[in-house]
């Protein structure tokens, strides 16, 4: 993908950002296909994830357009992860409580780490964090492990997780990042140190960011009876050469069906 293609995809992405801002002025009308409580939970989580994607995408695009690709990739990673997670939350019947349960599990681990800290300030913060934890919510799903969320979606699976893993390498302290600040030479020690990195391919990651904007927007569209942005999101997806949504995989559909059959029925009312 060359620079011209990057500019085209960046324009598509900025159009999606503008569409999101315009969407905020229109009321979000819930669909009747989902139970009220389920829909409320999904809407709260999906909105937060999608809003975060659009909040980060603007600065990420600015960096990509300026050629500061390496600086943009932690933002692109966060957008990609949040968009895929939003798709999973809105398509899994009880994905919302599963997502909350995983967040609580992570915070409990944080409490244990704080309790072991040398700093008294950190140790004293542990009870405050613990006090805000909720009891586990009833659900047959699990949101533990981003690779599992990817495997529940098509297209997704190993392809989506591979993109995430590559972005993670660029976001953490890694040899891949270090390599961008080194340059082979034919003299001396054979290696020169760079203060400015060799930038990764900007067009590729601009495309990934634009895809995340489409999938984030569609996650909210599922919960909107009027589907205000559906046609524009589909048009953007076609322009990018991607699918506009990540469908639930056959294996995930089968798992949910089995769960519904084995779930105990509530006792009859007295």
pLDDT digits (tens, 9 = 90+) for 33-57: 655 556 788 888 999 999 999 999 9
- Could you give the percent of the chain with pLDDT greater than 70? 91
Q: What is the dihedral of CA 215, 142, 150, 90, to 10 degrees?
A: -20
Question: Each residue of 233-252: pLDDT tens digit?
Answer: 999 999 999 999 999 999 98
CB 82 within 8 A of CB 217: no
Our measurement of the distance from residue 131's CA atom to the centroid of its chain's CA atoms, rounded to an integer in Å, reads 27
CA distance linking residue 141 with residue 255, whole number of Å: 9
pLDDT at 42 (0 to 100): 87
Q: What is the pLDDT of residues 256-265, one digit of tens each?
A: 888 777 665 5
Cα gap 15→108, rounded to integer Å? 40
> Which range (7-16, 28-37, 51-60, 248-257) has the least confidence?
28-37
194-218: pLDDT as tens digits: 999 999 999 999 999 999 999 999 9
Q: Which residue has the tokens 């819930």?
A: 30
What is residue 40's predicted lDDT score, i.e. its pLDDT?
A: 82
Over residues 127-147, the pLDDT tens digits come to 999 998 989 888 878 899 999
Tokens of 248: 């639930």
One-character DSSP codes across 185-206: -SSTTSEEE-SSPPP--HHHHH
pLDDT of residue 270: 44
Q: What is the pLDDT of residue 255?
A: 87
List phi, psi (to 5°) of 235. Answer: -65, -40
> Stretch 18-29: mean pLDDT, rounded?
78
pLDDT exceeding 90 applies to what percent of the chain?
A: 70
CA dist 156 and 178 (Å) reads 29
pLDDT at 173: 97
Tokens 């953007």 sit at which residue?
Answer: 236
Nearest to 84 by CA among 172, 34, 141, 146: 146
Q: Which two tokens stand for residue 62?
A: 């600015």
What local confidence, expressed as pLDDT, does residue 149 receive?
A: 95
Considering only CA atoms, which of 192, 241, 249 is closest in space to residue 214? Answer: 241
Q: Which residues contact 104 (CB under 8 A, 6 or more apart)?
A: 133, 134, 136
pLDDT score at 35:
59
Full DSSP string of 92-127: STTHHHHHHHHHHHHHHHHHHHHHT-SSHHHHHHHH
pLDDT of 22 reads 86
Mean pLDDT of 71-75: 98
Task: Report the pLDDT value the prediction gives residue 196, as an integer from 0 to 100.
Answer: 95
């Amino acid at each position: 993908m060359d620079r011209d293609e990057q500019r085209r995809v960046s324009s598509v992405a900025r159009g999606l950002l503008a569409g999101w801002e315009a969407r905020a002025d229109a009321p979000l009308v819930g669909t009747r296909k989902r139970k009220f409580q389920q829909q409320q939970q999904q809407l709260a989580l999906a909105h937060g994830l999608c809003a975060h994607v659009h909040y980060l995408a603007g600065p990420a695009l600015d960096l990509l357009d300026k050629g500061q690709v390496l600086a943009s990739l932690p933002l692109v990673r966060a957008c990609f992860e949040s968009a895929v997670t939003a798709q999973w939350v809105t398509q899994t019947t009880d994905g919302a409580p599963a997502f909350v349960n995983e967040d609580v599990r992570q915070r409990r681990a944080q409490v244990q780490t704080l309790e072991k800290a040398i700093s008294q300030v950190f140790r004293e913060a542990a009870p405050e964090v613990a006090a805000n934890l909720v009891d586990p919510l009833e659900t047959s799903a699990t949101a533990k492990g981003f690779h599992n969320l990817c495997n529940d979606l098509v297209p997704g699976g190993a392809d989506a997780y591979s993109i995430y893993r590559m972005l993670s390498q660029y976001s953490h302290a890694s040899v891949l990042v270090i390599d961008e600040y080194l340059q082979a030479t034919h003299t001396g020690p054979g290696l020169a140190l760079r203060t400015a990195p060799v930038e990764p391919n900007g067009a590729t990651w601009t495309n990934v960011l634009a895809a995340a904007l489409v999938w984030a927007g569609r996650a909210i569209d599922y919960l909107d009876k009027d589907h205000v942005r559906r046609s524009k999101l589909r048009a953007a997806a076609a322009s990018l050469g991607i699918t506009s949504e990540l469908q639930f995989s056959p294996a995930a559909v089968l798992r949910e069906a089995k769960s519904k059959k084995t779930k105990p029925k509530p006792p009859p009312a007295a």
